[in-house]
Amino acid sequence: MKLATWNVNSLKVRLPHLLDWLAREQPDVVCLQELKCEDAAVPRAEIEAAGYHLETLGQKTYNGVAILSRTSLGAVQRNIPGFADPQARVIAATIEGVRVVGAYFPNGQAVGSEKFAYKLEWLTALTQWLRAEIALHPKLVLTGDFNIAPEDRDAHPDWKDEIHVSAPERAAFAALTGLGLTDAYRRFEHPERSFSWWDYRMNAFRRNFGLRIDHILITAPLIETLSACEVDKSTRSLERPSDHAPVIAVFG
DNA sequence: ATGACCTCCAACGGAGGA
């Protein structure tokens, strides 16, 4: 199984890139974030024509998540159970015995802000739900745009803002790994300063001024078959790119 | 530097992103 996550920053704008990339990479499962459109506006026909089933949790203007799969998606869950969230950030489904949770974590804006408090509350709710979910599904993948760079090496040394690298955010990330989830990317050797997001401004991609905030976390039974995990930076050089690159994990 | 760039909106400036 080849599984990927990609924050497309508008499904409508990025659809040509997505379709080209699906044809080239042939992933089996793709979690998408920041659709920025309602379910009714999702270009289902084009994605289905590319060979994918899809389940979405759309929202106008902001947020919105989807899971694409070559095989059918079962037991679809939208948002975090028991957490009344007006923002569309989570979708989960069972695919060939693997519970796949695709999430668009809150940005948090600035440490200490209202949005930061929401980010931490959201992370607590996600963690509580996943504790139960992992007990039900030993093979589980948590993937998406985490908006957290878990270690210093996951942020450019010149990143001066606290957001995405603060102690509370990193503690929340550690709580997730404490559930028995492993960062698939760190199971392999990578160059220093490997990132998944680069600001649109200031030639950030050319200067590799970025953060590694898009992740694929997996439970122990999936580690045995994990054979690769990479960031695909190629899409970031296209015309009108997403500011995030896809991250791809290969099992088996 | 209250910046820069991109996407969205009952839009033409502001919000949000990261």
How would you write the pLDDT of chain A (252 residues) with one tens digit per residue?
999 999 999 999 999 999 999 999 999 999 999 999 999 999 999 999 999 999 999 999 999 999 999 999 999 999 999 999 999 999 999 999 999 999 999 999 999 999 999 999 999 999 999 999 999 999 999 999 999 999 999 999 999 899 999 999 999 999 999 999 999 999 999 999 999 999 999 999 999 999 999 999 999 999 999 999 999 999 999 999 999 999 999 999
pLDDT in tens, A229-249: 999 999 999 999 999 999 999
CA quadruple A21, A4, A62, A48: dihedral, nearest 10? 60
What is the distance in angstroms measured between the alpha-carbon CA of A72 and the sugar C1' of B6? 34
Q: Which residues of A are annotated as a binding site for Mg(2+)?
A: 7, 34, 145, 147, 243-244
Q: Identify whether A215 is a catalytic site residue.
A: no
Q: Identify whether A244 is a catalytic site residue.
A: yes
Q: Which residue has the tokens 């028991």?
A: A82
| pLDDT value, residue A150 | 98
Domains in chain A, please, with CATH?
Answer: 2-251 (3.60.10.10)
| pLDDT value, residue A106 | 98
pLDDT in tens, A16-66: 999 999 999 999 999 999 999 999 999 999 999 999 999 999 999 999 999
CB A217 within 8 A of CB A194: no
Q: Is the dihedral of CA A176, A164, A22, A205 positive or negative?
A: negative
A44's CB contacts (< 8 A; 6+ apart) are: A54
- Choosing from A17, A52, A137, A145, the catalytic residue is A145
What is the distance in angstroms measured between the alpha-carbon CA of A61 and the sugar C1' of B8? 5
Closest nucleotide to A14 by C1' from CA: B7
| pLDDT value, residue A170 | 98
Q: Identify whether A190 is a catalytic site residue.
A: no
Q: Which residues of A are annotated as a binding site?
A: 7, 34, 145, 147, 243-244
CB A58 within 8 A of CB A31: no
* Separation between Cα atoms, residue A56 and residue A44, nearest integer Å: 10
Model confidence pTM above 0.85: yes
* Separation between Cα atoms, residue A74 and residue A78, nearest integer Å: 12
A218's CB contacts (< 8 A; 6+ apart) are: A140, A141, A142, A181, A182, A184, A226, A249
Q: Which nucleotides on strand B sit less than 7 A from a protein beta carbon?
A: 4-9, 16-18
User: Hey, what amino acid is at A64?
Assistant: G
* Separation between Cα atoms, residue A134 and residue A45, nearest integer Å: 33
- Strand intervals (E) in A159-213: 181-183, 197-198, 210-211
CB A70 within 8 A of CB A51: yes
| pLDDT value, residue A242 | 98
Closest nucleotide to A164 by C1' from CA: B18
Nucleic strand B contacts from chain A, 69-128, CB < 7 Å = 106-107, 109-110, 115
Q: Please name the residue ranges forming H helices in A71-145.
A: 114-136
CA closest to B9 C1', residue: A61
Q: Is A201 within 7 A of strand B by CB distance? A: yes
* Separation between Cα atoms, residue A242 and residue A60, nearest integer Å: 18
